Amino acid sequence: MIKVGIVGGTGYTGVELLRLLAQHPEVKIQAITSRTEAGMSVAEMFPSLRGRIDLKFTSPAEAKLQECDVVFFATPHGVAMAQAKELLAAGVKVLDLAADFRLKDTAEFTKWYGMEHACPEILAEAVYGLPEINREAIKKARVVGLAGCYPTSVQLGLAPLLASASTGGKALIDGTHIISDSKSGTSGAGRKAEIGTLHAESSDNFKAYGVKGHRHLPEIVQGLKAIAGHDQIGLTFVPHLTPLVRGIHSTLYVRLTEAGLGVDYQKLYEDFYQNEPFVDVMPAGSHPETRSVRGSNGLRIAVHRPGNGDTLVILVVEDNLVKGASGQGVQCMNLMFGLPETTGLTQIALSP
């Protein structure tokens, strides 16, 4: 059994980890930390876990995380990098759901997150946690910085188009002119009291935010450059807040090159993802809905070429708390410990 610790078990990604790991046949949850709720039973805070999780929240100092095999950080930025060195020295693997180990450029991290990186030497060895792209590296990793929710949808939506260039083929799209029109549910903002995500503010409302720049932008660009194998990536990324609790919907627009005009893109996507258990390329003409992935680790993609012209439109949906966060973390953990990638992650989406 894999002994698991969770730091920050009271947020949305923390309780989602608990939900998934409670159903995982190869996991024993050893410790769940919370500074503010230490001593409270998990089931008292989250009645949905009654009879499944018998632990109480403990303070980080009392959690004995060094006795775990792996520790998930479902915490704000800055927490994982402050504790990673001690855990790694004890032989514990680290999976961070925040941004501490995503951006390889420490100056970029400081610019977007407003703090100096505490352990650049650990950052240098960290692997970016997007299994469909970095599967082999994740298997060998001690530290994984999990991909963000928006970045997961955008990178997996564009990967088949960009990977052809990295493998020696001609570029299919103009990589300098990519548009991502992305929407998220309110749970993406975390479990905290904030005016913008109050029910009376977000219900019956729809708005863009972060148009000047969003902290997921450098992460997405870094990932797209790695997939493409070159630096000629230009991305306009505009996130939106929708009156949903869960869900990401990214509509991606790309311009085809001369070399890309004669390609069957439905087949390209189906071939690229044919062995991926959590990526579903839908039939031609489909319009995936966020509810089709709610509560599951699945991501659905549909490819459109309006009027058979030079613009390709890719639609991507995922659950921001599962494939966009905690489920992806469990997927990476499975790889790190030599388990089948789908272990504990075969839940069917909730409908309605």
pLDDT digits 0-9 by tens, 7-56: 998 999 999 999 999 999 999 999 999 988 888 999 999 999 999 999 99
**CATH 3.90.79.10 given to domain 150-319:** no
Kindly compute the dihedral angle of the four CA atoms of residues 88, 90, 95, 98, in this order, to the nearest 10 degrees: -70
Q: Compute the mean pLDDT over every residue in the chain, rounded to the nearest whole number.
A: 95
Containing 250, the helix (H) or strand (E) segment is strand 248-255
Residues of the chain with CATH 3.40.50.720: 2-125
Q: Cα separation of 184 and 215, whole Å?
A: 15
Structure tokens at 3: 């002994």
**Does position 167 have pLDDT exceeding 90, yes or no?**
no
Catalytic: 149?
yes
What percentage of residues in the chain have a pLDDT greater than 70?
A: 99
Q: Are the beta carbons of 323 and 293 closer than 8 angstroms? A: yes
The CATH code for residues 2-125 is 3.40.50.720
| pLDDT level of residue 329 (50, 70, 90 thresholds) | very high
Residues 6+ apart with CB under 8 A from 164: 170, 171, 172
Question: In angstroms, rounded to a whole number, what is the distance separating the alpha carbons of residues 75 and 17?
Answer: 12
Where do the CATH 3.30.360.10 domains begin and end in the chain? 150-319
Whether the pLDDT of residue 321 is over 80: the answer is: yes
The dihedral sign for the CA sequence 225, 231, 235, 241 = positive
What integer pLDDT is reported at residue 81 of this predicted model? 96
Give the pLDDT score at 191.
82
Range 164-169 average pLDDT = 74
Q: Which two tokens stand for residue 176?
A: 């300098």
Tokens of 95: 């999976």
Q: What is the pLDDT of residue 37?
A: 87
Contacts within 8 Å (CB) and 24+ apart, 275-279: 276/132, 277/341, 277/342, 278/132, 278/323, 278/331, 278/342, 278/345, 279/132, 279/156
Let me know: does 243 contact 204? Beta carbons within 8 Å: yes
SS3 173: strand
Query: What global pTM score does this model have?
Result: 0.96
Cα–Cα distance for residue pair 44/250, rounded to 1 Å: 36
Query: Who wins on pLDDT, 170 or 265?
Result: 265
Catalytic member of 68, 119, 149, 332: 149
Check residues 100 and 167 and name the one with the higher pLDDT. 100
Q: What is the structure's pLDDT at 198?
A: 82
Each residue's pLDDT tens digit, 110-166: 999 999 999 999 999 999 999 999 999 999 999 999 999 999 999 999 999 999 776
